[in-house]
């Protein structure tokens, strides 16, 4: 038995048969087709991690808020701390504020991730600096549940400057946008509160997209591609 297989069996063994069945029933991902922006279910997520290295660091908590039918449904909130037994105390604790003891009390990662994917359902993910969240989540799902993350991620850090060039924030961070729109953050660097404020930013961004005549996911994606090309040519000029 290879080291990988042994590890695979170990991981699978932490799931009950019922949980394995739930894992099998997880909905398929949706693509960027002609779904209307006003109807599409978006899950705006944020993760707190042990660090910024997507190869090594681990997810500590996930917070997520649903944007659907053009509004945030306050009844659909997701918030979970992942159980991390041997979490080494490192400087990131100063940012996310999750103490090793709190991490040790969390939900076991396989169950937490299964619940999250189940809860998210057929959605498009939105996040600020989405590629980071996408990689962290993909690695966690691969390691813990041996599944491949196929969901589409849209990056608010791209959509916002694309739709609000006049804000002149460019590659600025979430805090810059929060300040620009005067949003109120309940607790910065808590996954749930960051997801909430990202979702409020998403409402603003999606409203702006509609006002510019962008009605479907595919159109939004096209605009993004065109914008990225423009950014690249600007960078080379």
Partner 1 sequence: MTREHAFAEAGRTAVLQNIQGTMDFLRKYPPFAHMQDHSLSYLVERCVLRFYSQGECILKPEDGAVAHFYIVKQGLVRGERQVASENADSTFEISSGECFPLAALLGERATRTQHLAAQDTFCLQLPKAAFVKLFAECNVFRDFALRGVSSLLDQVNQQAQLTAVEHLGGSYSLDTSLADLMARSPVTCSPHTSLQAAVKSMHEQHVGSMLITDNEQRPLGIFTLRDLRRVVADGVTDFEQPINALMTPAPFALPSNASAFDAAMAMTERHIAHIAVVEGQRLVGVLSERDLFSLQRVDLVHLARAIRHAKSLQALQLLRDDIQRLVSSMLAHGASSVQVTHIITQLNDHSVARTIELAMADLGAPDVRFTWLVFGSEGRCEQTLHTDQDNGILFQCATPAEAPALRERLLPLAQRINQDLDTLGFTLCKGNIMASNPELCLSEQQWQQRFARQISSATPENLLGASIYFDLRSVYGPTDGVMRLQQFLLAHVKANTLFQRMLAENALRQRPPLGLFRDFVVAKRGAERHTLDLKVQGLTPFVDAARLLALSHDVANSSTLARFQALVERGVVDSKDAGAYEESYNFIQLTRLQLHQQQSRDGRPLSNRIDPDALNPLDRRILRESFRQAQRLQASVALRYKL
For partner 1, the binding residues (CB under 8 A) are 22, 63, 65, 70-81, 106-107, 115-116, 118-119, 121, 181-184, 186-187, 190, 192-193, 195-196, 200, 203-204, 207-208, 211
Nearest approach, Cβ of residue 3 and partner 1 (Å): 32
Residue 44 vs 136, nearer CB to partner 1 = 44
Edge to edge, the sheet with strand 153-155 lists 59-68, 42-49, 124-127, 153-155
Nearest approach, Cβ of residue 65 and partner 1 (Å): 7
Strand partners, 49: 59
Residue 57 vs 79, nearer CB to partner 1 = 79
Nearest approach, Cβ of residue 215 and partner 1 (Å): 16
Residue 129 vs 208, nearer CB to partner 1 = 208
* Residue 113 φ then ψ, to 5°: -70, -40
For 79, the token pair is 């918030």
Cα separation values, 221 from 138, 147, 159, 182, 226, Å: 21, 26, 10, 27, 9
Nearest approach, Cβ of residue 39 and partner 1 (Å): 15
* Residue 186 φ then ψ, to 5°: -70, -45
Nearest approach, Cβ of residue 173 and partner 1 (Å): 20
Cα separation values, 69 from 10, 17, 30, Å: 41, 35, 17
Residue 93 vs 201, nearer CB to partner 1 = 201
Residue 118 vs 229, nearer CB to partner 1 = 118
């Amino acid at each position: 038995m290879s080291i990988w297989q042994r590890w695979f069996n170990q991981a699978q063994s932490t799931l009950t048969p019922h949980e394995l069945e739930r894992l099998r029933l997880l909905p398929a991902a949706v693509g960027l087709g002609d779904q209307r922006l006003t109807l599409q279910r978006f899950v705006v997520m944020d993760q707190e991690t042990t660090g910024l290295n997507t190869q090594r660091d681990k997810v500590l908590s996930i917070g997520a808020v649903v944007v659907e039918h053009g509004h945030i449904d306050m009844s659909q909130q997701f918030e979970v701390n992942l159980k991390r037994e041997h979490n080494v105390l490192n400087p990131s604790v100063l940012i996310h504020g999750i103490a090793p003891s709190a991490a040790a009390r969390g939900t076991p990662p396989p169950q937490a991730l299964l619940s999250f994917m189940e809860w998210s359902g057929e959605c498009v993910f939105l996040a600020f600096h989405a590629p980071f969240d996408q990689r962290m989540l993909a690695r966690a799902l691969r390691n813990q549940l041996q599944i491949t993350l196929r969901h589409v991620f849209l990056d608010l850090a791209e959509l916002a400057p694309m739709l609000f060039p006049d804000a002149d924030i460019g590659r600025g961070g979430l805090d810059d946008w929060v300040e620009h729109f005067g949003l109120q953050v309940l607790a910065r660097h808590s996954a749930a509160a960051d997801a909430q404020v990202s979702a409020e930013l998403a409402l603003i961004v999606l409203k702006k997209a509609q006002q510019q005549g962008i009605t479907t996911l595919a159109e939004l994606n096209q605009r993004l591609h065109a914008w990225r090309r423009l950014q690249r040519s600007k960078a080379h000029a």
